[in-house]
Chains A and B, each alone.
Chain A
Amino acid sequence: MRPEPGPAVRLRAVAGGRGEFDAFYLAWYGRITAQVYAYLGDRGDAEDVTQEAFVRAWQRWGDVSAYEDPVSWVRRVAWNLATSRLRRMTTAAKVMRRQPPPGVVPGMNPDHVLLVAALRKLPERQRRVIVMHHIADVPVADIAHELGVPTGTVAAWLHRGRARLAEDLGPRWEVPS
Chain B
Amino acid sequence: MSNFDSYRESAHESFKPLPPEVIVARARAATRRRVVVVAAAAAVVIAVAGVGVGLRLRSDGLGPAPNPPVMPSPSVTLAPVTPSPSASPNPGSPSATGTPSGSSSGSGQPGGSGPPDVPRSSSTSPAPAPLSMRKVDVENTTIRFPARHDDDDCPSGELEVVDGAAGSDTFVHPSYGGGSPAYGDVDGDGRVEAVVWGSCTSGPGDDASGQLLVLNGRTGKVAGMGWVGPVGQVINDVTISGGRVVVTVTQKYYDVKQERTYRWNGSRFVQSAGPTAFPSPS
Contact: B14 with A80, CB < 8 Å? Answer: no
Contacts of B149 in A (CB 8 A): none
Q: How far, in angstroms, from A30 to B91 measured CA to CA in the complex?
A: 13
Contact: B188 with A31, CB < 8 Å? Answer: no
In this assembly, does B17 line the interface, its C-beta being within 8 Å of a C-beta of chain A?
yes
A-side interface residues toward B, CB under 8 Å? Answer: 2, 18, 21-22, 25-26, 29-31, 33-34, 37-48, 50-51, 54-56, 58-60, 63-64, 66-70, 73, 76-77, 80-86, 88-89, 92, 94-99, 101-103, 105-109, 111-118, 120-121, 123-126, 128, 134-135, 137, 146-149, 169, 173-176
Contact: A112 with B189, CB < 8 Å? Answer: no
Contact: B97 with A43, CB < 8 Å? Answer: yes
B-side interface residues toward A, CB under 8 Å? Answer: 1-20, 22-24, 26-27, 29-31, 33, 65, 68-74, 76-78, 81-82, 84-87, 89-93, 95-97, 99-101, 103-105, 111-112, 116, 122, 124-125, 127-128, 144, 188-191, 218-221, 223, 243, 263-267
Tell me which of B31, B73, B190, B267 has the highest count of chain A C-beta atoms within 10 A of its own C-beta.
Answer: B190
Indicate whether A121 sits within 8 Å of B103 (C-beta atoms), given known contacts A55-B27, A92-B30: yes
In this complex, what residue of A is CB-closest to B266?
Answer: A67
Contacts of B16 in A (CB 8 A): 29-30, 102-103, 105
Contact: B15 with A44, CB < 8 Å? Answer: no
Q: How far, in angstroms, from A135 to B99 measured CA to CA in the complex?
A: 19
Contact: B24 with A117, CB < 8 Å? Answer: no
Contacts of B191 in A (CB 8 A): 80
Pairs A–B under 8 Å by Cβ, sample size 15: A42-B81, A43-B86, A43-B90, A50-B15, A55-B23, A68-B265, A77-B188, A82-B77, A99-B22, A105-B92, A105-B93, A108-B96, A123-B122, A135-B4, A174-B1
In this complex, what residue of B is CB-closest to A89?
Answer: B112
Contact: B86 with A45, CB < 8 Å? Answer: yes
> Distance in Å from the Cβ of B131 to the closest Cβ of chain A?
10
Contact: A86 with B87, CB < 8 Å? Answer: no
Told that A34-B12, A50-B15 touch, could you supply 18 new A-B pairs with CB distance under 8 A? A29-B15, A30-B16, A40-B77, A56-B190, A58-B24, A59-B31, A63-B188, A66-B266, A84-B70, A85-B76, A102-B17, A105-B91, A117-B100, A125-B127, A126-B125, A147-B219, A148-B221, A174-B3
Q: How far, in angstroms, from A42 to B99 measured CA to CA in the complex?
A: 6
In this complex, what residue of A is CB-closest to B75?
Answer: A124
Contact: B76 with A120, CB < 8 Å? Answer: no
Q: How far, in angstroms, from A135 to B4 measured CA to CA in the complex?
A: 6
> Distance in Å from the Cβ of B129 to the closest Cβ of chain A?
11
> Distance in Å from the Cβ of B282 to the closest Cβ of chain A?
37
Q: How far, in angstroms, from A103 to B14 measured CA to CA in the complex?
A: 11
In this complex, what residue of A is CB-closest to B65?
Answer: A86
Contact: A85 with B101, CB < 8 Å? Answer: no
Q: How far, in angstroms, from A96 to B112 measured CA to CA in the complex?
A: 21
Contact: A33 with B23, CB < 8 Å? Answer: no
Contact: A107 with B11, CB < 8 Å? Answer: no
Tell me which of A2, A43, A60, A111 has the highest count of chain B C-beta atoms within 10 A of its own C-beta.
Answer: A43
* Of B7, B103, B111, B265, the contact of A67 (CB 8 Å cutoff): B265
